[in-house]
Amino acid sequence: MKKIGITGQNGFTGSYLYNTLGLQPDKFERIVFEREFFEDSDKLNQFVSQCDVIVHLAAMNRHPDPEVIYNNNVDLVKKLIASLQKTNSKAHILFSSSSQEERDNLYGKSKKEGRELLADWAKKSGGKFTGMIIPNVFGPFGKPNYNSFVATFCHKLTHGETPVIDNDGEVKLIYVGELVQKIIDQIEKEESNVLYEVPYTSVNKVSEVLQKLEKYKNLYFENGEIPVLESKFDLNLFNTFRSYINNKNHFPIKFEQNKDNRGAFVEVVRLGIGGQCSFSTTVPGITRGNHFHTRKIERFAVIKGKALIQLRKIDTDDVLDFHLDGNEPAYVDMPIWYTHNIKNIGEEELYTIFWINEPFNPEDTDTYFVEV
């Protein structure tokens, strides 16, 4: 059991890493970090002394004054080193640097200097250190106008704004889930790697990414169709796009019913991809689900009876309630990293159609049980 601490635990990459480590409680114990620790040496020392591994992600990358970015990032490293020395820590330090190290800007300079300071600490103290050079990262829940152009584009397209391309160059990208797995690989290796260039997983022109996102907006956001996803990058980009939708205002979406003297016909899901479609009946008072997925796309469609569908992002307390009635058939799509359930709140059997984008595999379920 390794005790892992993450500075910047609540940030974009930090929260994804923290939650992913939580999926393996038999291997990793997470030591909670709070931003205020850097302002209180006693609290920082207590945190450092508990950790077998510290992943240093805390940093500033946007500010009107580049000098503030530089001073902040270098200062954080110096405070961490002081605590490592004070506690005589033997923790393995993983440092998040950037492909901007070689660029002529103070952010890149701060990351390079921070990496070199920690490498020097490890050399002098006999500690373990891994300096990761990370390409451009994208993924769900990143801050628009801060973490990546992908976050900015997704936010604008789902909030009635128009994205603008400043520089249509090729960008080397890695999905945050892929990056987190690379970090976990380094944690498990237990070896120093002073200069580890994390490999990017795709190369895309900015305009090509925007074109895909605009397609997702047209097909999915506006018309409910699951688009063709030809690659792992497409799946990751689509799940990223979905994370910027205001679920509370967007769902449930009522189906179009085609009625005649025979009854009614409803199209449940229009697909550019395959997957698995299932049907269930649920007796009154029973709840199904209470689990979440990290990559799967899933739709719950109520066609008869009354249901309460609930969603909660796993690192928040806010629960979204959706009431659906088979008299007006409707659906709710499940965002990744949201635990969800469905309960029969009526007096008759509940009929539900479930669609998911990949058939169930008992050896790789991507299903984690957590109460909403």
CATH code at position 109: 3.40.50.720
Q: What is the pLDDT of residues 192-249, one digit of tens each?
A: 888 999 999 999 999 999 999 999 999 999 999 999 999 999 999 999 999 999 999 9
* Residue 319, C-beta contacts closer than 8 angstroms, at least 6 positions apart: 310, 311, 312, 372
Alpha-carbon distance 157 to 216, whole Å?
A: 9
Q: What is the pLDDT of residues 110-148, one digit of tens each?
A: 999 999 999 999 999 989 999 999 999 999 999 999 889
At residue 87, the pLDDT reads: 97
Residue 114, in any domain of the structure: yes
Q: What is the pLDDT of residues 353-363, one digit of tens each?
A: 999 999 889 99
Query: Looking at residue 353, which CATH number applies to its domain?
Result: 2.60.120.10
Alpha-carbon distance 303 to 316, whole Å?
A: 30
Residue 282, in any domain of the structure: yes
Alpha-carbon distance 92 to 54, whole Å?
A: 6
Residue 225, in any domain of the structure: no
Residue 325, in any domain of the structure: yes
* Domain final residue, candidates 117, 134, 151: 134
Domain that holds residue 93: 2-134
At residue 103, the pLDDT reads: 81
Secondary structure (3-state) at 200: coil
Say if residues 324 and 309 touch (Cβ distance below 8 Å).
Answer: yes
Q: Report the candidate in 243, 342, 328, 325 with the shortest Cα–Cα distance to residue 290.
A: 342
Say if residues 345 and 307 touch (Cβ distance below 8 Å).
Answer: yes
Q: What is the pLDDT of residues 329-353, one digit of tens each?
A: 999 999 999 999 999 999 999 999 9
Q: Give percent above pLDDT 70 in the chain.
A: 100
Residue 140, in any domain of the structure: no
**Beta bridge partner(s), residue 138:** 175
Q: Report the candidate in 230, 244, 223 with the shortest Cα–Cα distance to residue 160.
A: 244
Band (pLDDT 50/70/90 cuts) for residue 272 is confident
* Domain final residue, candidates 134, 162, 196: 134
Alpha-carbon distance 292 to 187, whole Å?
A: 25
CA distances, 320 to each of 14, 105, 248 (Å): 24, 43, 7
* Residue 350, C-beta contacts closer than 8 angstroms, at least 6 positions apart: 281, 282, 283, 284, 302, 304, 305, 306, 307, 326, 342, 344
Residue 106, in any domain of the structure: yes
Alpha-carbon distance 181 to 295, whole Å?
A: 14
Number of domains in the chain: 2
At residue 180, the pLDDT reads: 98
Residue 40, in any domain of the structure: yes
Residue 143, in any domain of the structure: no
* Domain final residue, candidates 102, 134, 166: 134
